[in-house]
Amino acid sequence: VEFLYCDLASMKSIRQFVQQFRAKNCPLHVLVNNAGVMLVPERKTEDGFEEHFGLNYLGHFLLTNLLLDTLKQSGTHSHNARIITVSSATHYVGKLHLNDLQSRCSYSPHGAYAQSKLALVLFTYRLQHLLTANGSHVTANVVDPGVVNTELYKHVFWVVKLVKWMTAWLFFKTPEEGASTSIYAAVSPEMEGAGGCYLYNEERTKSADVAYDEELQRRLWTESCKMVGISDESSRVP
């Protein structure tokens, strides 16, 4: 096991990480996009992005795109490289505000978090469409880990914290249990060659209806490319 530092809230750090990784000339068979914050007070990343959208979504968007060439070179017909992105059931109530992705007009921690998780599902579906169109041996899937007992809840209201403390042993998954579906997506033979899936409890399930809106997927992708400063090569793919 080797550790390389990467701050998903910093575009500079992400680019430096990718540069360091590429210098090692290693194959990349599995990428798990798992970093995130939840219900944080209104604040910005060092690049000026609203933190939920900047860290949860844009950081993973940039990281994945910068590593795509390596992933494509690493995948084969019989063993596809795999991209797993961790979303949340919160995406079902999320709304994507393309005209205000930074939640500047009206900030709600719950709304900003849900939007970032919906964006990850839309991103995954568009990414799989592009990978398929290009004939790449790479698959992209999105995972709902469930309600997991981690420090992700440190910004919730104190009453919720109290309830969590009292009931976590009964209703919350352990971190190990929460990771099981991501691991399943990453290594299960059943998922070989399967992309564009929403997985919960190691089973394919249906995501929010709006996540299947291909025009919304396309518009979010284009806008995301502008925000992180990369070319939108997808514009050549219908």
Render pLDDT for 98-126 as a digit per residue (tens, 0 to 9).
999 988 888 988 899 999 999 999 999 99
**Are 128 and 137 within 8 A, CB to CB?**
no
Q: How many helical (H) and strand (E) elements, i.e. helices and strands, does the chain have?
A: 7, 5
The mean per-residue pLDDT over the stretch 60-81 comes to 97
Rounded mean pLDDT of 178-207? 93
Q: Out of 57, 92, 113, 198, pick the active-site residue.
A: 113
- pTM reported for the whole predicted model: 0.88
Task: Please say if the pLDDT value at position 153 is more than 50.
Answer: no
**Exposed (0-12), middle (13-18) or buried (19+): which is 158, by Cβ within 10 Å?**
exposed
And the tokens for 90?
A: 């919160």
Question: Which architecture, in CATH terms, is 11-236?
Answer: 3-Layer(aba) Sandwich (3.40)
Verify whether residue 92 is a known catalytic residue. Answer: no
Say which range, 73-77, 109-113, 124-128, 214-218, has the weakest mean pLDDT.
Answer: 109-113
Kindly list the domain boundaries of the chain, sorted by start residue: 11-236
Q: Examine the pLDDT at 27 and tell me if it is beyond 60.
A: yes
